[in-house]
Amino acid sequence: MMSIERSRAISIWKNFTKGFLRENPVFVLVLGICPTLGVTTSAVNGLGMGLAATFVLVMSNMVVSLIKSLVPDDVRIPCFIVVIASFVTIVDLVMSAYTPALHAQLGLFLPLIVVNCIILGRAEAYASKNPVWLSVIDGLSMGLGFTFALTLLGGVRELLGSGAVFGHKFITGDGILVFILAPGAFIVLGYMIALVRLVNKTD
Partner 1 sequence: MKKKEPTFLNLVTTLFVATFVSSASLGFVYEVTKGPKARAELNKKIEAIRNVVPEFDSSPFDDKTERCQNERCITLYPVKKAGEVVGTAVESWTQQGFGGEIKLMVGFLPDGTIYDVEVLDHKETPGLGDKIDRKKSDFTRQFQNKNPGAFSLTVKKDGGSVDAITAATISSRAFCNAVQRAYDVYRKESSH
Alpha-carbon torsion (86, 92, 96, 98), positive or negative: positive
Among 10, 12, 34, 78, binds partner 1 (CB under 8 A): 78
The minimum distance between CB 68 and partner 1, in angstroms, equals 9
Stretch that binds partner 1, among 16-24, 29-37, 74-82, 143-151 (CB under 8 A): 74-82
Q: At residue 46, what is the residue type?
A: G
- Please tell me whether residue 183 binds partner 1 under the rule CB under 8 A: no
- Please tell me whether residue 97 binds partner 1 under the rule CB under 8 A: yes
Q: How far apart are CA 90 and CA 189, in angstroms?
A: 30
DSSP code for 164: E
Between 75 and 125, name the residue whose CB sits nearer to partner 1. 75
Q: How far apart are CA 195 and CA 174, in angstroms?
A: 27
Q: How far apart are CA 81 and CA 64, in angstroms?
A: 10
Among 1, 4, 5, 98, binds partner 1 (CB under 8 A): 98
Between 67 and 192, name the residue whose CB sits nearer to partner 1. 67
- Please tell me whether residue 93 binds partner 1 under the rule CB under 8 A: yes
Q: Which of residues 116-135 bind partner 1 (CB under 8 A)?
A: none
- Please tell me whether residue 86 binds partner 1 under the rule CB under 8 A: yes
Cβ proximity of 193 and 33 under 8 Å:
no
Q: How far apart are CA 53 and CA 60, in angstroms?
A: 10
**Helices assigned H by DSSP within the chain:** 2-17, 33-39, 43-67, 76-98, 100-106, 117-122, 132-162, 182-202
Which residues lie near partner 1 (CB under 8 A)? 41-42, 67, 69-75, 78-79, 82-83, 85-86, 89-90, 93-94, 96-98, 100, 104, 107, 161-162, 174-175, 177, 180-181
